[in-house]
Amino acid sequence: MANESLKNFADELKNIRETKGITLQYIASRTKIDIKYLQAIEEANFGILPELYVRAFIKEYALTIDLNAADTIKKFDQAKTGKTETETKHEHEKVTVHEKEEEKNKFEEAEKPLSSTTTENVFKNILTNKNNLLIAGASFVVILILAYFLFINKGETEIIAEEPYAELNAGESNSRFEIDSTEHAQVTAPQDDSLDLQITASGKVWVKVLKDNKEIFRNFIESNQRKNFRAYKEFRVVVGNAGAVKLSLENKVLLLNPKMGEIRNYIINSDTVKSYLISVPAKNEKKPPAKN
């Protein structure tokens, strides 16, 4: 059930719409959103749909009545907390005053003169750190000298040893051939995705696309517009009005036969296509009691 802040938010949207002389039918025709969802927004019945769709519909509603979409969503989020804008502003001011007092106390503490004991301790710490740096530097030089005699100087002696001319040439030839072969294989290795998905809309429709469990698209697709996506193994597609889109995989139309107004979730790979209907409770429909 919506709290008082959400009801005030919904009433404010409705009052602005009516003041501007804009009808719900007009908003529905412009946004392609079912009018029952627009009515639910104005009645603060935000539980009628998953929040993902509610936020998208509020944004489209706000744009159609010439409101700032980002500010409207911000007000919606604030209303969900149950606090008014004045209460939120007051809390922010209290936090700001507290932070200023802490800064003032730190500044006053820094301005206090150091005692003789504190000054003496500071100089002792500086001398101790300086001695530690000198010891560390000397140790590093000793390690470099040991490394030179143990590894570098020994390596030079081995380089002087001679090898038969034929064996040396054979080793160099094989080494060059293997390096060239590896580079060529890396350059010519295929890197393209293996699945090609096309989404064609017959009307304005909201769509979310994930490829290989990574979201790559979340927006409205306009009427008669086509979007192409590529993936390695799998697509997951959520459609706000499944009857208004046509899905094609590798230029072959997927025969899914959804109905207009259905919200569907598709899982698509090279072998199978799974379709799930996201049920939306009817207006004033009571939810079943939770099981203990």
Taking the C-alpha atoms of residue 24 and residue 17, their distance in angstroms, rounded to an integer, is: 9
Taking the C-alpha atoms of residue 246 and residue 244, their distance in angstroms, rounded to an integer, is: 7
Contact 146, 138 (CB under 8 A): no
Say if residue 10's pLDDT is above 80.
yes
Write down how long the chain is: 292
pLDDT at 111: 57
| 19-43 confidence digits (pLDDT tens) | 999 999 999 999 999 999 999 999 9
| 202-228 confidence digits (pLDDT tens) | 999 999 999 999 999 999 999 999 999
Contact 245, 202 (CB under 8 A): yes
| CATH classification (class only), 4-80 | mainly alpha
| 45-88 confidence digits (pLDDT tens) | 999 889 999 999 999 999 999 999 999 999 999 999 886 666 55
Burial class (CB in 10 A: 0-12, 13-18, 19+), 130: exposed
- Residue 169 has φ and ψ, to the nearest 5°, of -65, -40
| 236-283 confidence digits (pLDDT tens) | 999 999 999 999 999 999 988 899 999 999 999 988 999 999 876 655
In the chain, where are the structural domains located? 4-80, 119-155, 195-278
